[in-house]
Amino acid sequence: MRVGFAGLGAIGTPMATRCATVHELTVWNRTGARATAFAGAHRGVRVAATPRELAASADAVITCLPTSADVAALLDGPDGLLAGLSPGTIVVDCTSGDPATSRRIGERLATLGIAFVDAPLSGGPPLATEGRLTVMCGGSTDDVRRAEAVVAPFAAKVVHMGPVGAGHAMKAVNNALLAVNILALAEGLVTLAKAGLAPRAMIDVINASSGRSFVSEVLVPDRVLTGAWPRLFRLALLEKDIGIAHDLAHELGVPDAVISTTRERCRALRRELGESADYLDPIHAAERAAGVELRG
């Protein structure tokens, strides 16, 4: 399949690397040097100078950008995606975006005979590298079936969530729940450490008990207890996703006291820690505030 890939960020790069082994791949990135370097490292990959050029030779275009607004901004103008996309092609948006913008994009493309599937991801760069991402899709049954072949190189699980926008709704709520777990564990673990408990022992008990989560089972042992603290996903992007979940709840008239509180706390931490902070840095901040370290 001829695939155009837009967005070579932290997760987009390993996704595109997997695609290069299966598809006839062309890449585009807002920082052109990154696309050029990627093509130089992967035989057969072409570089597009513009989104239009990316789309012109593609059966499918994958977008993987920070926000839905970034995706929408690629559409218009003489060098935009719409100038290059042909009827019958499909756009698979792997951005962690918002449902409302996705619906608008999908409706607009549909009038031109172009399919659209919102297909955000779970698993992060490590699982992208291994081709084991979970992809949550919004779109028609036929379009999602087509999207499965596009994302196959980096996906272990593809789930059809519903119509366009449903994938982004699912991803936003999932990430809001991730944030709830990070903040709750940060408070709980530093409290136990301050009380004199050994970090490894407390995590072993939590993970054998009802308080366990992906954060306690994987992220804390691998990245916090070891002191590794890899920079894999920015807190700013997590805070953006919580905001999408909050806005969705508000739109639907659903009370969201926990998600709303989590959003405000992550927003404050984003201001305190800066735009480059990692999504696990709230645990680091809790350590500093309590005067303890969760290592062992």
Among all residues, which ones are annotated catalytic?
171
Beta-strand ranges (E) seen in the chain are 2-6, 24-28, 46-47, 60-63, 90-93, 115-118, 121-122, 133-138, 155-162
3-state SS class at 172: helix
CA-closest candidate to residue 55, choices 30, 79, 22: 79
Query: Cα–Cα distance between 189 and 73 in angstroms, integer?
Result: 42
Rounded to 5°, angle at Cα 219 from 218 and 223: 120
